[in-house]
Amino acid sequence: MSPMRKFAGHVHVLAALAMLGGLAACSLAPAPTPTPAFDVSQLGTAVTDITYCTPNELPQKMDIYFPASGGPWPVLLYVHGGSWREGDKAEGEGWRGMNDSGFLVASINYRMAAEGKFPVMIEDVKCAVRYLRAHSAELNIDPDRIGAIGASAGGHLVALLGLAGPEAGWDEGEYADFSSGVQAVLSMAGLSDFTAEMPGGINSSIYYAFGKLAGDDAPQNVAASPVSYITADAPPFLIIHGDNDGVVPVEQSEILHGRLTAAGVPSQLIIVQDGDHGLQGPNATPTQEEISAAISAFLEENLK
């Protein structure tokens, strides 16, 4: 055999060995972790106290209410109120009826003011949305159809959730590769502009949770105000407020609606005549049934 042919033969052998080595390396590489599948035994059930994030080693919990059939479902995320210092995710069971309309309902706790001042609350709410997206397959949900609903302090937080993007710096914690954006927001008796004057009662709660009284354009008040983050690409809003609200002035919702519509964002404002902070009253109009119908219609239009 000529030296050239002998050398060529060695080259072919070495190439074959290299290929075998590459195949061997591939076969030894760890297989990707399979995405957990949805457990159909959860259909129609509630799973409570799911840890969705652990900021500062403080586990934050979520309750999930599953529809009885279908999926992938849109999500209705409930954020409770309570002046940023009380309240509980158990309130979310009141929205379980949305399961019948094909919505998965998730209700969360978040850090209260006693555990940390603002913005820890919105950091947790944003982390909850990222958790839902990260676990969309095993929860049987559509990660592109998530809406948020909240009242009072919860209304403030869901408005912030819908309007403040990553540039606000509140996407802290786990699941950083996932978005905390939502596709629809429903704020009831919420706060939107901390630069405006507030009654003494709610202002005391604001001071406790935010470390600054509302009523001026200090940087802290601007940063805490949902209206500071409005852009033309914000999600649609449904805003509901009682004109007899003795806790949060109805003007807070009027300001939010006005700024949204001025920016070209779809926004619907329902003022409940003779409605208190809970949107109720002996002569409240629209009625609770009519308000519920408006909420359902808004969610159907924007998340289905």
pLDDT tens, position by position, for the chain (304 residues)? 443 333 334 433 333 333 333 333 344 455 555 678 999 999 999 999 999 999 999 999 999 999 999 999 999 999 999 999 999 999 999 999 999 999 999 999 999 999 999 999 999 999 999 999 999 999 999 999 999 999 999 999 999 999 999 999 999 999 999 999 999 999 999 999 999 999 999 999 999 999 999 999 999 999 999 999 999 999 999 999 999 999 999 999 999 999 999 999 999 999 999 999 999 999 999 999 999 999 999 999 999 9
3-state helix, strand, coil in the chain (%, to 5): 40, 20, 40
| Whole-angstrom distance, CA of residue 294 vs CA of residue 44 | 25
3-state SS, residue 210? helix
DSSP, collapsed to helix, strand or coil, labels residue 170 as coil
Instruction: Identify whether the C-beta of residue 158 lies closer than 8 Å to the C-beta of residue 191.
Output: no
Which pLDDT value is given to residue 30? Answer: 56
Looking at the structure of the chain, the number of domains it has is 1
Q: Residue 78 domain-assigned?
A: yes
Provide the pLDDT for residue 148. Answer: 98
- pTM higher than 0.75, yes or no? yes
For residue 37, being part of any structural domain is answered with no
- 5 within domain boundaries: no
In a domain? residue 249: yes
Residue 31 lies in a domain: no
| Structure tokens belonging to residue 52 | 């969705």
Contact 124, 60 (CB under 8 A): yes
Q: How many CA atoms lie within 13 A of 168 on its CB side?
A: 27
Walk across the sheet containing 141-151 and list its strands.
46-53, 60-65, 104-108, 73-79, 141-151, 184-188, 237-242, 267-272
Predicted pLDDT of residue 31 = 55
Question: Which domain CATH number covers 276?
Answer: 3.40.50.1820
List the domain range (segments joined by +) for residue 49. 44-303
CA distance 230 to 171: 18
Is position 39 within any domain?
A: no
Residue 54, in any domain of the structure: yes
Give me the pLDDT at residue 32, please: 57
Return d(Cα 70, Cα 168) in angstroms, integer: 36
* Residue 93 covered by a domain: yes
The pair of three-digit structure tokens given for residue 223, joined into one six-digit string: 């940063």
